[in-house]
Amino acid sequence: MAHNNIAIYPGSFDPITNGHVDLVKRTLRVFNRVMVVIATNPGKDGCLFTLEERLQMVREVFKGLKNRVQADSFEGLLVDYAERKGATVIIRGLRAVSDFEYEFQMAMMNRRLKPKLDTFFMMTGESEFYTSSRLVKEVVSLGGNVSGLVPANVLKNLKRKFNG
Ligand code: PNS
């Protein structure tokens, strides 16, 4: 039975990929509601897409699931955002072993900051195993084809960014 608690799925989503979409769908089998939350200050180099563009792409992808999947953004600490929203679970995807250390550090830091907030890790589907927003952007910027790795609306936006 689906759990009534809200799960939040944070990230940069620059842009959302089919790996992210797969993870949201898996999460919906366990939780009634998922909030896809985009960090405005992930402390990384500039994003390709503006926050508004990233939010809009996520909303378009899940427009058929509006009641169960919401998109939002946050500034500051993720744990503070989660508390404001009454969320008790953070969802993160794990692909290869190489994700583990970074994810482990974040999960432990978040737990230290808010002991009652748990991080649930989900394995992405095998077809999404090698997909990352970073690689998708790199491939498109060099003229490669990423159809099948990102939703159709994202593909269109990527092409527009790189081909003007
Ligand atoms: O998709 P990403 O870039 O791997 O997501 C990283 C993200 C946004 C989840 C992480 O950078 C984050 O939570 N940023 C918000 C600021 C924060 O709470 N930092 C402390 C994390 S331990």
* CATH at residue 42: 3.40.50.620
Closest ligand 1 atom to the C-alpha of 113? 22
Indicate which residues carry an active-site annotation. 20, 44, 95, 133
Q: Is residue 53 included in any domain, yes or no?
A: yes
Residue 164 CA to ligand 1 center (angstroms) comes to 30
- Coil, helix or strand at residue 90: strand
Query: Which residues sit with their C-beta closer than 6 Å to ligand 1?
Result: 10-12, 39, 42, 77-78, 106, 109-110
Tell whether 93 is covered by a domain: yes
Pocket test of ligand 1: the residue of 77, 85, 91 to mutate, having most ligand atoms within 8 Å of its CB, is 77
Atom 13, ligand 1: residue with shortest CA distance: 78
Token reading at 86: 């009454």
CA distance 79 to 39: 12
Mean pLDDT of the chain: 92
Report pLDDT for 125: 83
Q: pLDDT band at residue 49, thresholds of 50, 70 and 90? A: very high
Residue 15 lies in a domain: yes
In whole angstroms, what is the distance from residue 75 CA to residue 30 CA? 27
- Average pLDDT (16-40) is 96
Give me the amino acid identity at 68: R
Residue 1 domain-assigned (yes or no): no
Whether the predicted model's global pTM rises above the 0.75 cut:
yes
Residue whose CA lies nearest to ligand 1 atom number 1:
11
User: What confidence tier does 96 reach under pLDDT thresholds 50, 70, 90?
Assistant: confident
Average pLDDT of span 107-112 = 98
For ligand 1, atom 17, the nearest C-alpha belongs to 77
Residue 1 in this model has a pLDDT that exceeds 80: no
102 lies in a domain? yes
User: By residue range, what is the domain housing residue 146?
Assistant: 6-163
Distance between CA atoms of residues 135 and 146, nearest Å = 10
Nearest ligand 1 atom to alpha carbon 10: 9
Q: Number of structural domains, the chain?
A: 1
Hey, whose CA ends up nearest to atom 2 of ligand 1? 11
Please check whether residue 52 lies inside any domain of the structure: yes
pLDDT at 42 over 90: no
